[in-house]
Structure 1
Amino acid sequence: RFAQKDKKTVKPVAEDFFSLDTASGEEIIDDEEMEEEEEVAKKRFFLKDKQAVLEGGEKQKRTEKTVEEEKHEKYVNEVLATSSIRPVLESSLCTSAFTTSLREKMRANKSQREKTSGQSWFRMSSARISDECRADLELLSMRATLKPKRFYRKNDRAVLPKYFQVSRVVEDKRDFYGSRLTKSGRKKNMLDEMMKMDRESFKRNQHK
């Protein structure tokens, strides 16, 4: 008994306790905390709404910009369709002078020189050798064999020439009865004329 009386009984203070709602199992929140949470929620909602408005404005600006760009491109294409200046013109102006090397220039000049016979032969172009031209050129190279009694200069090359031109001799009116070939004696190429002359000479020799 005496021991129990000596003990000081401490009365509990209201601040040391907090109330619980045993039905819901959640802590009871004060009014100040509720107000703070409401303010935070309002701020979040306001920020989301503002962000949505900004995004909508940016999308609208983008769509307006794309529409203007499409109109501009359409106008530019219409103008270029009727213009003599093309988009490739800038790339073709003075670009080869800076991009081609000295070796490439020399190679290009060599290929251009090979297309003609040169300035000393009046830049005669290389002709395409057909079968008829080949036969005539071979006949000319064997002219000393066909007429051994007549003097011809020696051929300067053993192969067919690369540069040559075929021309037609127009007789003068004064040579109409003298040194003119008749229509029956005129053939398409030199080989046919030579063969006809051989036949005539063969017939003459037979009569003799």
Structure 2
Amino acid sequence: MRVLVVEDEPILADAVAEWLRREAFAVDVAYDGGAALERLGVNEYAVVVLDRDLPVVHGDDVCRAIVAAGGESRVLMLTAAAAVRERVAGLALGADDYLPKPFALVELSARVHALTRRARPAAPPTLSRAGVVVDPARREAYRDGRYVPLSRKEFAVLVELLRAEGAVVSAEELLERAWDEHIDPFTNVVRVTMVKLRRKLGDPPVIETVPGAGYRIR
């Protein structure tokens, strides 16, 4: 799933982004509120990790814009102010969760996982279909009870296929959800990842190619 990290301290922003990538999220980064609004205008994000004190456009205004857009993005607001009134004010703007600085990266990623489960429609803690079981929070995958070691992108693609509940997912949709904004839209990375994923999941094959449409798990 795709996450936008909005933080004006580059070292912190990059650290958060790298940590979430290790959790198999596709992550874009914006260092000010204006850049965040630009990315929100062209990309869909499951979760926006949003610092409240931002230059160019304040984090409060970014949060208001997300809520006004009426999409499915969940907002995890960050701030150095730990007072209760500050947390209440952030939640009143429409943020879904609130995390004061300094914070532990493991807690942040746990909160991001929790917010993805609250997306519409609600996602269950584990995903399963055709003998394949995935736990997104623990980043574990199993085929008929056998643990399957997957790379970050293989895991992210498998999660998206399972979330589709048997519906076809196009290569374009997989690029949008499992890779960040720097990926070449004409790359064959989806096909290559699918070949590796099928090999690791083993026989009988569970991922079906639908010619001209995409992929699905029946």
TM range (shorter): under 0.3
> Per residue, is there more strand in 1 or in 2?
2
Higher relative contact order structure (alpha carbons within 8 Å, sequence separation ≥ 6): 2
TM-score (norm 1): 0.16
> Per residue, is there more helix in 1 or in 2?
1
Greater Rg by CA: 1
